[in-house]
Amino acid sequence: MNETLTALTLDVDDARLYYEVRGTGPLVVLVGAPMDAKSFAPLAELLATEYAVLTTDPRGINRSPLDNPDQNSTPEQRAADLAGLIAHVGAGPAIVFGSSGGAVSALALAQHHPEVVSTVIAHEPPLLNLLDDRAEQHALSADMRATYLSGDVIGGWQKFFAQANIFVPEGVLEGMFGGDRDPQSVADERFWFAHELGESVGWQPDVAALRDGPVHIVVGIGEDSTGQLCERTSTALAAGLGVDPTRFPGDHTGFAEDADTFAPVLRAVLADRPDVRHSQSSIA
C-alpha cells in the first residue's frame, strides 16, 4: 500500500463519511455507488504518483454509516457529500472520475456544486431517463429490485444482469451471491437495492445546464460494453452534451478488474485537461 495513504472520516448532518487520500498534486476523486474505496484502491495507487487521489465509501455503504439506515441515497445527497469532502481536504477544484452510480453522483456534483469541480469523467452512468424506452426500463428495474427485496437474491441478480445485457455463465451467480457471505457485503448490497439503485437510475440530469455550464464533462464507455444498457445511456448522454464518448479498457467495471490497463488511458484523459495541466491547487 502507498505509504502516503491517509484514512479519515468526515461528519456531515446525517452520516459519517469514510475517505482516503493518497499521493500529492492536483486533486483527483475516484467514486462509485455502490462501489466503495476498496474497489478503487489499485487505480488510486497507480495515479498517486502524480496526483492527490481521494476515494470514499458512499453514504450508507461499508464504513460510511447513516444516522438513519432506512434513508434513501440520492445523487443530490451524494454530490453534497463529495462537495463537502473536496472542501474539507482544501484542494479543489477537483477532477472527478465517477463510474456507474458514482458517475451519476459526479454529474450531480457538476450540476449543483460546479465551484468545487473542474472536470467530470462520467464512466457509464445508468441514466434510464435518457432512453427512448425509459418506461420499459424503469419497469424492469422496479421489478428487479422488488424481486431481490422479496428475498430472492439470485433472482434479483439474474434480472439485474438481464436488464444490463451482461452475460453471466450458468452457475456463476449462485457462486457469487449464494451460501455464506460476508455480512457487510450483504448489508451493502441490500442497501443498494433498497435505497440507492432506484435513485441513481431515476435521476434526471439537466443536460442543457451540464452542456452549457463551467464544468468540463467527459463521457466514458468501456470498450467491451458494446450492446450493454450503460453503453446506451452513456451514448445518449454524450449526444445530449454534444461530445464524443471516450472509450476505456474493459467493460462496466474495467477500472477495478484491470487497473494496470485502465490507468494509462485515464492518465491520458487527465493530462489532456487544461484544468489539470495548469492547476495551481494541490495537496502537498
Residues of the chain with CATH 3.40.50.1820: 6-131+203-277
Amino acid at 157: W
The pLDDT value recorded for residue 278 is 39
The pLDDT value recorded for residue 82 is 98
User: Quick check: 242 and 224 in contact, CB under 8 A?
Assistant: no
Q: Cα separation of 69 and 178, whole Å?
A: 24
The pLDDT value recorded for residue 279 is 44
Bridge partners (DSSP) of residue 283 are 25
Q: Cα separation of 31 and 19, whole Å?
A: 10
Tell me the pTM: 0.95
Q: Cα separation of 118 and 18, whole Å?
A: 23
Architecture of domain 6-131+203-277 in this structure:
3-Layer(aba) Sandwich (3.40)
Q: What confidence tens digit (pLDDT) does each residue in 140-164 have?
A: 999 999 999 999 999 999 999 999 9
Q: What confidence tens digit (pLDDT) does each residue in 48-62 have?
A: 999 999 999 999 999
C-alpha cell at 71: 434513508
Q: Cα separation of 84 and 70, whole Å?
A: 22
The pLDDT value recorded for residue 282 is 60
The whole-number mean pLDDT for each consecutive block of 10 residues of the chain, a chain of 284 residues, reads: 79 96 96 98 97 97 97 98 96 93 98 97 98 98 98 97 95 92 96 98 98 97 98 98 98 96 97 56 58
Q: What is the dihedral of CA 39, 28, 44, 284, to 10 degrees?
A: -140
Q: What is the dihedral of CA 131, 242, 196, 105, to 10 degrees?
A: 180
The pLDDT value recorded for residue 206 is 98
